[in-house]
Chains A and B, each alone.
Chain A
């Protein structure tokens, strides 16, 4: 999923202060799963913002809406019913959702309530960790299903570097050395012999470095 975290309240309050009517929009997808921008978090943020402004002697009308998906135009269209009653839109989706709203509702300012973080997985309840950088040319097939691009601090493709210590990365004992994980996994799979194959310099064009990316499926595109 795409993970996110709520911005500090003060930063959000800065966005909101000049206005009195906001449309606060959550998203039912990834940000619901990572407890950052689903229906529940919309309610919490709404109460928090309203209280903060009440304390300042102001009132804030908040219309709370949580869309099925903020990154799809058909769902974002649903906001059309509420848009006229709002001065601004405050989005609790990832950056994709915020931009979809900006694209559709050109006359209203839209602000992000979240910081979008990374593509990750849930390690356990309440803990999410980065797993994929969307490099566009997946190499998990040769690294035992564990990604050095996303999970090595130096994205070393032929690791581990000299800083690997007792399974941990040199930058922090909270970070696993991904090359230790890869090696352990290759061993468990009986694929140790693969280790000495050099992974050649990556062609980063498939990644962000090639410019903004787009997928066109001609069988589906209308």
Chain B
């Protein structure tokens, strides 16, 4: 084992991993973090804590991770290269590890253009692939990116994102291969709605044997309304929502749409369980965390393994 990560242990045992996500509050409200995390207790193996997601200022991922860790749960520290240079990132990684946080997700992050501080300087000292390399070097070589030794290196289980639906499609497997080469251990994907396209991508991944080198957790996001389905289809870059799904959501009465959205997610999980290379699921119920237990349960993913 490379780390003490709960995710790593479950993957090593051959069982499916379930992760979810918790967006920290836009203010100093630790109760909010606790409330969201508590809902997930017993239903997931790790809780991603987003880092200024969509470039909006929120409580720091590290601080919220510490709160969650102190609750006896397993936070996954998300970190973007948009806001910090390599000094700041490394010091936060050490800090996180000092608090017992052993799993992280390395991202480049949304451009500030999308957030509430579009006037901010964007840092991007590293990109996500160079970020993975840095965390791996810290863990495996015990060295800082700059080359000097670390006294007690942080042993992080390294995650990253992949979007099988972004363009150009032909590069999507190749870019994953680059992340693997850089040292990533697990991948959480963009929300999967177009299952056919996801399977095509997974086949490309398996054909190159990449699924043996990295654990892939497809992203599952339940849709609340037909409006949300349309919005995701038309407005969110890099999102692929097939027409028939939008139609299906619109085809049920408004008060039943949320239920239909959950049903769609469960069906997707059932189908993706059978896909070669799928090692678990990343269930992102955006501002709808209370639905995660239901999805996990109905998708037959309970009980969660204990180590």
Contacts and interface: CB of A to CB of B under 8 A. Distances in A.
Contact of B127 (A154, A164, A166, A170): A154
A198 B1 CA distance: 26
Most buried by A among B109, B114, B171: B171
A160 B175 contact: yes
Interface in A138-167: 153-167
Given A159-B127, A183-B168, A170 B237 contact: yes
A195 to B, nearest CB: 6
Q: From DSSP, what is the main secondary structure of chain A's interface residues?
A: loop
Interface of A: 153-167, 170-172, 177, 179-180, 183, 195-196, 198-201, 204
A196 B181 contact: yes
B134 A201 contact: yes
A178 to B, nearest CB: 13
Interface in B271-295: none
Contact of B178 (A153, A155, A158, A183): A158
B105 to A, nearest CB: 13
Most buried by B among A157, A163, A171: A163
B241 to A, nearest CB: 13
B10 interface: no
Nearest to B167: A164
B167 A180 contact: yes
Contact of B167 (A165, A172, A199): A165
Interface in B153-194: 161-163, 166-168, 171, 174-175, 177-178, 181-182, 190
Contacts of B181: 196, 198
A201 B124 contact: no
B108 interface: yes
A159 to B, nearest CB: 7
A210 to B, nearest CB: 13
Given A163-B111, A198-B178, A198-B181, 18 more contacts: A153-B111, A153-B113, A155-B124, A155-B127, A157-B127, A157-B129, A162-B190, A164-B168, A165-B167, A166-B167, A170-B237, A170-B238, A171-B111, A171-B113, A183-B168, A196-B177, A196-B181, A201-B86
